[in-house]
Amino acid sequence: MRTAYGVETVRAAERALMARLPEGTLMQRAAAGLATACAQLLGRVYGSRVVLLVGSGDNGGDALHAGARLARRGAGVTAVLLSPGRAHPGGLAALRRAGGTVADPGAGERLIERADLVVDGIVGIGGKGGLRAEAVPLARAAARSRAAVVAVDLPSGVDADTGEVRGAALRADLTVTFGTHKPGLLIDPAREYAGPVRLVDIGLGAELPADPELEALQHAEVAALLPEPAAESDKYRRGVVGIAAGSARYPGAAVLAVAGALRGGAGAVRYVGPAGDAVIARFPETLVSDRGPKRAGRVQAWVVGPGAGDDAGTVAEVLAAEVPVLVDADGLRLADAGAVRARTAPTLMTPHAGEAAALLGVSREEVEGARLAAVRELAGRYGAAVLLKGSSTLVAPAGGAGTVRVNPTGTPWLATAGSGDVLSGLAGSLLAAGLSAVDAGSAGAYLHGLAGRFAAQGAPVGARDVAEAVPRAWRDVRAGALGPGGTG
């Protein structure tokens, strides 16, 4: 499990740990890890040109101490001080002792142009707002330069707690973060600025509380969630998932949701709606009914909404059922908020950013720029678990408070028509198999992302290919959890 903690929590843990350690220990641990990562990226340290961008806080201190270590190994290290009078005194002294030099911001752009490595120590978890004006030309120069850019703790200019990016920010090739991930490192748009993230252990772990702000499941945790049929399982014990989707106009959504559901571990898939012929032609194993959800027969969880058009009646009927319900696509628009809140069985809503924006009455850009806030807000308003789809899919528990899951397996190739229908079927099937709403959403997104990667392998794919790759993803998750041999 990868976890991320917010700034307040990190600060409290840091204070508790520092009280037991000699002064400066944590910064030395951070700087040692940072210098090691920089050296690996450089390959050859001796003779390399390193530029440190140094702000007024401890983030700059980390950069200066790491720079001193690189200078001792023969790198030419220059620190560009953004607030010359306020740079970390101990770090500055260490750099000078190691033979490093200091420059004014005015010289920064020229130095960056010729550098092999730029270390971004402008601002870390103490940052407020976006990058300040004096740092913007340096961020641009770093982006232009062929130098590798390493961000200290997080890329300067991104919000550590939310992943929001207001204005300019440093774009890193690698982020070296200390003690724990910060939420912003796992959520777009900030995540994109961070590049790959390396976590340096500084001993903070024992001081962190049990409930992180954010968590990302990995193979082992997903494998533990996946249903496994026992010898005595019949199809009803494995769960029947009902799919109320598709319309005369959009039969494809029904077919794709069923395609996902058949691979999600439920014992049977029941389809209800006007696209029964299309569904049965493609998947003869489906139980098809055109008598509406109420009279369709036994179902352990429902999926409602993909391609539903304007069929508000079916959505209302499904919401009245006393089993878990996944609401997607048109269903989100048609669902009555009061009816969702009044439900006693679990509800999982699965909007993409545009649908979430419509529900919240804001623009799509606002949702995409502040995904964590949006998913919590929706989960609070509807009293339902919410899976917000996108480049970093988030799953918030009903009510919106508590740990949010972030899916690590997504791929841009999944942004293809019908891919969401497959996910809703897949996650609905996991609901029917007995997973909680948050577990079904996050395990579904994990398998779906992995399936997208397997199907795509660097080339465009259709939603059907994604559905067909789900069994491979499932096997990979189980194999990876068992040890060597998988990709986990």
Ligand X SMILES: NC(=O)C1=CN([C@@H]2O[C@H](COP(=O)(O)OP(=O)(O)OC[C@H]3O[C@@H](n4cnc5c(N)ncnc54)[C@H](OP(=O)(O)O)[C@@H]3O)[C@@H](O)[C@H]2O)[C@@H](O)CC1
Q: Which listed range, 66-74, 125-133, 161-169, 418-426, lies at the site for ligand X (CB under 6 A)?
A: 125-133
Q: Which residue among 27, 303, 319, 356 contacts ligand X (CB under 6 A)?
A: 27
Question: Which residues of 371-464 form beta strands (DSSP E)?
Answer: 385-388, 394-396, 404-406
If 0-12 CB within 10 Å is exposed, 13-18 middle and 19+ buried, where does residue 105 land? Answer: middle
CB of 117 to ligand X, least distance (A): 17
The tokens 């600060």 sit on which residue?
11
Determine which helix (DSSP H) or strand (DSSP E) holds 41, and give its type and residue range: helix 25-42
Rounded CA separation 190/372 (Å): 12
Indicate whether 164 belongs to the interface with ligand X (CB under 6 A). Answer: no
DSSP string, 163-219: --B-S-----SEEEEESSB-GGGTSTTHHHHH-SEEEEP-S-GGGS-SS-SEEE--H
67 is in an annotated binding site: no
Q: Which does residue 57 bind out of K ion, ligand X, none, counting CB within 5 to 8 angstroms by kind?
A: ligand X
Q: Which residues does 139 contact at the CB level (< 8 Å), separation at least 6?
A: 131, 156, 157, 168, 169, 170, 171
Indicate whether 62 belongs to the interface with ligand X (CB under 6 A). Answer: yes
Q: What are phi and psi of 103, to 5 degrees?
A: -135, 160
Q: Which does residue 321 bind out of ligand X, K ion, none, counting CB within 5 to 8 angstroms by kind?
A: none
442 is in an annotated binding site: no
CB of 192 to ligand X, least distance (A): 19
Q: Which listed range, 126-134, 236-244, 366-374, 428-436, lies at the site for ligand X (CB under 6 A)?
A: 126-134
Indicate whether 156 belongs to the interface with K ion (CB under 5 A). Answer: yes
Specify whether the CB–CB gap between 256 and 466 falls below 8 A. no
Indicate whether 276 belongs to the interface with ligand X (CB under 6 A). Answer: no
Give the number of other CB atoms < 10 A from CB of residue 288. Answer: 20
Q: Which listed range, 55-63, 226-234, 398-406, 415-423, lies at the site for ligand X (CB under 6 A)?
A: 55-63
Rounded CA separation 392/370 (Å): 12
Give the x/- contact pattern for ligand X in 196-235, rule: CB under 6 A: ------x-x-------------------------------
CB of 167 to ligand X, least distance (A): 9
What proportions of the chain, in percent to the nearest 5, are helix, strand and coil? Answer: 45, 15, 40
127 is in an annotated binding site: yes
Q: Tell me whether residue 152 or residue 395 sits nearer to K ion (CB atom).
A: 152
Pairing of strands 2-4, 214-216: antiparallel
Rounded CA separation 377/350 (Å): 14
Q: Which residue among 30, 35, 147, 187 contacts ligand X (CB under 6 A)?
A: 30
Name the residue type at position 13. Answer: A
Specify whether the CB–CB gap between 472 and 447 falls below 8 A. no
Q: Which listed range, 129-137, 284-292, 390-398, 402-410, lies at the site for ligand X (CB under 6 A)?
A: 129-137
> Cα dist. 338→149, 320, 384 in Å?
50, 11, 11
Specify whether the CB–CB gap between 283 and 262 falls below 8 A. yes
CB of 353 to K ion, least distance (A): 27
Indicate whether 125 belongs to the interface with ligand X (CB under 6 A). Answer: yes
Q: Which does residue 368 bind out of K ion, ligand X, none, counting CB within 5 to 8 angstroms by kind?
A: none
Q: Which does residue 126 bind out of K ion, ligand X, none, counting CB within 5 to 8 angstroms by kind?
A: ligand X
Q: Tell me whether residue 26 or residue 433 sits nearer to K ion (CB atom).
A: 26
CB of 82 to ligand X, least distance (A): 7
Tell me which residues in 101-130 interact with K ion (CB under 5 A). Answer: 120, 124
Rounded CA separation 14/5 (Å): 12
User: What six digits make up the tokens of 402?
Assistant: 């508590």
145 is in an annotated binding site: no
CA-based nearest residue to 369, from 176, 130, 59, 172: 130
150-176: burial string, b at 16+ Cβ within 10 Å, e else:
bbbbbbbbbbbbbbbbeebbbbbbbbb
Tell me which residues in 174-203 interact with ligand X (CB under 6 A). Answer: 178-179, 202
Q: Which residue among 64, 152, 304, 384 contacts ligand X (CB under 6 A)?
A: 152
Size of the site for K ion (CB under 5 A): 5
CB of 6 to K ion, least distance (A): 17
User: What six digits make up the tokens of 248?
Assistant: 């005369």
Indicate whether 152 belongs to the interface with K ion (CB under 5 A). Answer: yes
Binding-site residue set: 58-62, 120, 124-130, 153, 156, 253, 307, 352, 389-393, 420-421
Annotated binding site for AMP: 389-393, 420
Q: Interface with ligand X by CB under 6 A: which residues?
A: 10, 14, 26-27, 30, 55-60, 62, 122-129, 131-132, 152-153, 178-179, 202, 204
Which residues of this chain interact with K ion, rule CB under 5 A?
120, 124, 151-152, 156
